[in-house]
Amino acid sequence: MGFLGKAAKSGLAIKAIQIIKREAAKPENQRKARELLAKATQRRGKPKI
């Protein structure tokens, strides 16, 4: 992969990180993340029969 390919990949990665940060800052997405974490920890804590 040449210089331009690496530059394009790093540019895409930077843009993706910016989008993730912006979405993570939104209150509704923070609420969804907390609910998902709560569900995951509840499932893991239950004993298997």
Per-residue pLDDT tens over the stretch 20-47: 999 999 999 999 999 999 998 887 665 5
Q: Residue 30 domain-assigned?
A: yes
pTM: 0.55
Q: Residue 33 domain-assigned?
A: yes
SS3 of 10-47? HHHHHHHHHHHHHHHCCHHHHHHHHHHHHHHHHHHHCC
Asked if pLDDT for residue 49 goes beyond 70, the answer is: no
Q: Residue 47 domain-assigned?
A: no
Q: What pLDDT is stored for residue 8 in this prediction?
A: 82
Q: Residue 27 domain-assigned?
A: yes
- Return the exposure string of 8-26: e unless at least 16 CB atoms fall within 10 Å of the residue's CB, then b: eeeeeeeeeeeeeeeeeee
Domain that holds residue 21: 13-41
